Chains A and B, each alone.
Chain A
Amino acid sequence: EVQLVESGGGLVQPGGSLRLSCAASGFTFSSYWMSWVRQAPGKGLEWVANIKQDGSEKYYVDSMKGRFTISRDNAKNSLYLQMNSLRAEDTAVYYCARGSGADYGMDVWGQGTTVTVSS
C-alpha cells in the first residue's frame, strides 16, 4: 500500500524550531518529487516547499524562504521539513505529499501532523 506518514508535530514556543518527518512506503520514493503543504485551522491549503528526486532542486513559497528547509534521505525513504523562527501564523496541519504540484499534481497525501506555535 502506498503510504505517507508524517510525524514530529507538536507545541512549540514562538521563535522555536521543529523538524517534521514523513516516512514513505509502498512506492519507489527516490523516483518522485515530494512536497510539503500546510493548512491553518479553518483555512485553505498553502504550499510550503518541494524537492526534486535527488534533492538537487528545492523550491519554497516566498514567505517561508530562509526559515524553512526541505530535505530528503532516499536511503531512508524519508522527507523532512526543518522549521526555524516559528511564528503563531505557522500554526497548521502540515501534510507531506507525493508530487511536485506541476502537471500531475500531488497524488498521495499523508494524514498530516499538527504544529501549534504558542507561548
Chain B
Amino acid sequence: SYELTQPPSVSVSPGQTASITCSGDKLGDKYACWYQQKPGQSPVVVIYRDSKRPSGIPERFSGSNSGNTATLTISGTQAMDEADYYCQAWDSSTGVVFGGGTKLTVL
C-alpha cells in the first residue's frame, strides 16, 4: 500500500520560514494537498493541487511537489500557525492516503 512520511515535529522561530516535508514513492506524479489542524478543531485545507491556496488562506502558505517529496512552506511564520499539518494524496491502488502528521511549534 502507498505511504506518505512526514517528520513528527518541526520547530520555527516567529517570523522565520518553516518547511514541512512529505515523502512518498513518485509523489510528484500525484497531486498533494495539505491540511492544518489546531487542537480541538477540524482540519482545514491550506494547499491543494500541490501549490494552490484556497480562498482565505494567507499568502505565507505555499506548496511544491516534485520527485518523491512535497513541501509545505510557511513564510513569516506566526504564532497562530502552530498546529498539526497533514499531507494527503490519492493513490490508484490504496485510495486516499494521509501522512502521519507534523506538529509545528512556533517558539
Q: Which residues in B have their C-beta under 8 angstroms from that of A109? A: 42-44
- Evaluate contact between A44 and B98: CB separation under 8 angstroms: yes
Expressed in whole angstroms, the Cα–Cα distance for A109 and B38 within the complex equals 13
Contact indicator B45/A101 (Cβ below 8 Å): no
Number of A-B residue pairs at CB separation under 8 A: 68
Q: Is the C-beta of B86 less than 8 angstroms from some C-beta in chain A?
A: yes
Instruction: Tell whether, in the assembled complex, residue B45 and residue A45 are in contact, meaning their CB atoms are under 8 Å apart.
Output: no
Query: Nearest chain-A residue to B49 (Cβ)?
Result: A103
* Total residues of chain B contacting the partner, CB 8 A: 24
From the candidates B45, B94, B100, name the one contacting A107 in the complex (CB within 8 A): B45
Q: Give the complex CA separation of A28 and B107 in angstroms.
A: 42
- Looking at the assembled complex, report how far the CB atom of B90 sits from the nearest CB atom of chain A, in whole angstroms: 5
Tally of chain A residues near chain B (CB < 8 A) = 25
With A and B bound together, what is the CA distance between A56 and B49 in angstroms? 25
Please, which residues of chain B bring their CB within 8 A of the CB of A50? 95-96
Interface string of B1-28 (1 = CB under 8 A from A): 1000000000000000000000000000
